[in-house]
């Protein structure tokens, strides 16, 4: 057997062993979060009935869209037909048109796009908009950490009246954007905004690189309204669920302590939605 074949075989054996261990552990645990935590996957802006029906059959509870620009009427009709709600949307312009931009016109454009996403989330039956508040590009680019903090908060506060009127949460996602890489920083950022309609969309895999995910969940506490579900490891980067460094038993324990209930969404692949559904069930007691 050559080195390449050996590596492929070893990797396959490791994956099978990891899945077997998860399944063995799962048999010993009750599905404590079934009916409390609902699983979904990222979606686009158009309906696809066959795919949506397949997700429903696999046990997914919903999907998360991408706005603005969705086919709202057709999506809402399809979601109702399948019984697979769209629980919220991702604001799809937050990277290119940043709330933290040093250019006022660009900040205005980003804020208006966020407002459009809030309206589309409401129209499709969702409850949230996922937002990346900016990118730290450094003092030379006039986007230091402090500037991203101040500019993004100023713009977010301008959309709070609309968000509260429509009942849509603006949820700040934790990503690799150079911003708030310590859980205490992110907590303080949300606390400075100090509004119940602006909370956290914590990404379990993204922030494992900077501190254990269960510590982030503990420190953010009930600021966690929704979660992105990923895994990440020092040796293998982003990877299938259960194969990274996330300590899922501790994640479950911290979620229980804060009384978390609501939506969690898988971003990324595990070799098919059937495997994703099973892994999410096992790791989160669904």
Q: Judge contact between 39 and 61, C-beta under 8 A.
A: yes
Task: Name the helix (H) or strand (E) containing 42.
Answer: strand 37-42
The mean pLDDT of 105-129, rounded to a whole number, is 98
What's the CA gap between 34 and 30, in Å, rounded? 9
pTM exceeds 0.85: yes
Tokens of 140: 């030379």
Answer yes or no: is pLDDT of 87 > 90: yes
Give the pLDDT band of residue 12 (cuts 50, 70, 90): very low
Domain coordinates in residue numbering, the chain: 1-30, 32-284
Average pLDDT, the chain: 92
Least-confidence region, from 27-31, 180-184, 186-190, 249-253: 27-31
Q: Give the pLDDT band of residue 33 (cuts 50, 70, 90).
A: very high
- Using one digit for the tens of pLDDT, what is the confidence trace for 215-227? 999 999 999 999 9
Above 90 in pLDDT, residue 8? no
Instruction: Tell how strand 128-131 and strand 237-239 pair up.
Output: unpaired
**Mean of the pLDDT values across residues 120-146?**
97
The contacts of residue 184 (CB under 8 Å, 6+ apart) are 219
**Any idea which of 160-164, 194-198, 216-220, 269-273 has the lowest mean pLDDT?**
269-273
Band the pLDDT of 258: cuts 50, 70, 90. Answer: very high
Please state, for a pLDDT cut of 90, what percent of the chain lies above it. Answer: 87
CA distance 109 to 114: 9
Is residue 125 scored above 60 in pLDDT?
Answer: yes
Residue 204 has pLDDT above 60, yes or no: yes
- The answer on pLDDT for 53 being more than 60 is yes
pLDDT of residue 133: 97
Q: Over 70: is that where the pLDDT of 6 sits?
A: no
Per-residue pLDDT band for 9 (boundaries 50, 70, 90) equals: very low
User: Which pLDDT belongs to residue 269?
Assistant: 85
Give mean pLDDT, residues 198-227. 98
> Quick one: average pLDDT of 239-247?
97
**7: confidence class by pLDDT, cuts 50, 70, 90:** very low
- Architecture of domain 32-284 in this structure: Alpha-Beta Barrel (3.20)
Work out the average pLDDT over 200-225: 98
Distance in angstroms (rounded) separating the CA atoms of residues 24 and 70: 42
> Distance between CA 196 and CA 126 in Å, rounded?
17
The CA-based angle 64-252-255, given to 5 degrees, is: 70
Contact of 46 with 89, CB cutoff 8 Å? no
């Amino acid at each position: 057997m050559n080195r390449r074949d050996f590596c492929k075989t070893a990797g396959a054996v490791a994956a099978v062993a990891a899945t077997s261990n998860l399944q063995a552990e799962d048999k010993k645990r009750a599905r404590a979060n079934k009916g409390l935590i609902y699983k979904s996957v990222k979606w686009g802006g158009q309906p696809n009935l066959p795919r949506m029906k397949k997700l429903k059959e696999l046990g997914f509870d919903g999907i998360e869209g991408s706005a603005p620009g969705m086919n709202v009427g057709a999506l809402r009709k399809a979601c109702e037909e399948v019984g697979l709600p769209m629980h919220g949307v991702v604001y799809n312009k937050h990277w290119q048109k940043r709330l933290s931009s040093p250019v006022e016109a660009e900040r205005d454009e980003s804020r208006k796009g966020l407002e459009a996403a809030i309206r589309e989330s409401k129209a499709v039956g969702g409850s949230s908009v996922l937002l990346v508040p900016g990118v730290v590009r450094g003092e030379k680019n006039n986007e230091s950490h402090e500037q991203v903090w101040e500019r993004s908060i100023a713009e977010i506060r301008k959309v709070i009246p609309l968000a509260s009127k429509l009942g849509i949460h603006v949820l700040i996602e934790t990503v690799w954007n150079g911003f708030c890489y310590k859980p205490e920083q992110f907590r303080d950022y949300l606390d400075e905004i100090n509004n119940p309609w602006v909370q956290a969309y914590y990404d379990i895999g993204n922030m494992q690189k900077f501190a254990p995910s269960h510590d982030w969940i503990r420190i953010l506490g009930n600021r966690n309204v929704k979660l992105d579900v990923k895994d990440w490891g020092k040796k293998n980067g982003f990877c299938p669920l259960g194969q990274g460094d996330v300590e899922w038993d501790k994640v479950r324990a911290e979620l229980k302590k804060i009384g978390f209930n609501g939506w969690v969404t898988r971003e990324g692949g595990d070799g098919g939605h059937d495997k994703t559904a099973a892994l999410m069930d096992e790791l989160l007691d669904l």
